[in-house]
A and B are shown apart, each in its own frame.
Chain A
Amino acid sequence: MRRYVVRKVAVAIPLLFLVSIAVFAMLHTGQGDPVELFVGPTAPQSVQVQARHELGLDQPLVTQYFLFLRRALHGDFGESITYREPVGQLIRDRLPATLLLGGTALLLSYALAIPLGILAAARRNTWADYAITGGALVAMAVPSFWLALLLVLLFGVHWQLLPVSGYGSLSTLVLPAVALAAEGTGLSLRLMRSSMIEVLRQDYIRTLHAKGLNRWRILGVHAFKNALISTITLLGLRLGMIIGGAIVIENIFGWPGIGRLLVSSALQADFPVVQGLTLLLAAAAIVANVTADILYAVIDPRVRY
């Protein structure tokens, strides 16, 4: 087990370094002079020279990279060009909003996927199963941003039931959370269903039946175990989907989280913010992945090759 964990972490670290190099290189890939980004193209020569020195842009690239890395490890990503605030502060201000949205979406998704998946497995090949599985199939084909637009059209504009932007009350959370949750729910549902079917086919289930155990109790106990396993199997993937989905969904609903910050900064070429956020989110995704893998190995010892 220890070797498994060590190996997972040992591979994650170079990957993080690779990402950090790519993130660092963003500023230097020949899309114009980085100094101009910071002081504007019309700044006089003296200001440019001074800025170049302050930003360390007059040093060799490798030195710049290590300076960048050291600062990054201390949480210092510089100052945003657009907001003139430290990047770390910007992120800290907006992180809770994204965590709220992502967490709610994930809970919603599992609250829907697990019961429906179990139901579909228990009623396999009946109309209920076909309806649920069909629904899941369609749900996997719907782009989350389009669903968001439709939700806004229906609930926000047409029926005027829910707010379509803003932040603070429960009602503003509903539409974005639903839109974000939809993306991976179909996948989780199908996995839940197929793993339940796999389990229900086993001989020991028939034995329990024959011994007279209540059908629902059998279902409940084994459903719970399976729910746990299949949730953790996909946890890394789902978290990745949430991170990616939040980037798009926050944009549509004007949700003041780091997803919206990332897109607006990317479109405005506000590199310090993009660098800091991308590195942070990539690190989060990688850590989530490694954790999910380790968790899975805890539950299923067969995996620990």
Chain B
Amino acid sequence: MKHLLELENIKIRFRTKGVVKALIDRDKDPFIEAVCEASMSIGKGETFSLVGESGAGKTTLARSILGLVTPDEGRITFNGKDLLGLNQASFKPIKRDIAMMFQDPVGCLSPRLSVQSIVTEPFKIHNVPMADSRKEAQRLLELANLPVSFLKSYPYQLSGGQARRVGVARALALNPKLIIADEPTAGLDVSVQGEILNLMYRLQQEMGISFLVITHNLSVVRHTSDHMAIMYLGRFVETGPTDEIFKNPRHPYTKILLTSSPEPDPDAPKTRTVLQGEIPSLINRPKGCEFHTRCPLAQDRCQLEVPSLRKIGEDHYISCLLEK
């Protein structure tokens, strides 16, 4: 199958101190690894979810696709085109085909522009002629299920759900092939959350858009995505078809994550394992398997060997030394 987007062995490092400071401190490695060895692919009209706790590198990985962060190693292919190594000018047309929805629904809208200007912004950036900017904005708001009367509103007048829909409308402006949605339901009430997800699904059906969804809400992932990857400290610990992972999670972290949200039923059996401690800082990345400091099954070898992603089923990969 030909994929729309392919990421191969992406590695993203951030500098922790300046060149001079690193020299003075004799720090040979003034970097932290935000993402390491991430590989994934998204087919046309497919939804891929990146799951993980904060600091797992989900957002960094997604931003690297748009060139907002530059990977140090790896390959990003979009629609058959290698994205790394493109200069700003040749990247610009790519940005017509990939749209991004940011986590903060209100904060990602330019505060002094009206909704009409905001949703038609992509046209202006890419010099795409519009017959009538008002009509165009109206069409986009209708696509996003927002009454036309919002055209004259300003971002601060919008509720989270309304601003989110403006964000969807803006993302749709130039008929993108891929939409990267960073926490599309963060901060929304459950009833509104459903509306946004249904809207995204409808657009996917009608326009064949692929989605890369970043989220920590597993119940949303279960219902909305085809494939998923679970990240921990910048590394994919498990990736595969969503149904398969929910049915048969193999990595100990995945297993714990799947049971960590209590069921909305007071009499549900409490089978959860409480994970001790917190995610280690990227600056003190644990040696060996990154998860061994919190893993209930950790053994001695986990502190020494770095597991690599290996295939354990159809399209199903984990990185764990113990799981067979």
Task: State whether these chains interact.
Answer: no
Hey, which bits of chain B sit against chain A, CB under 8 A?
A: none
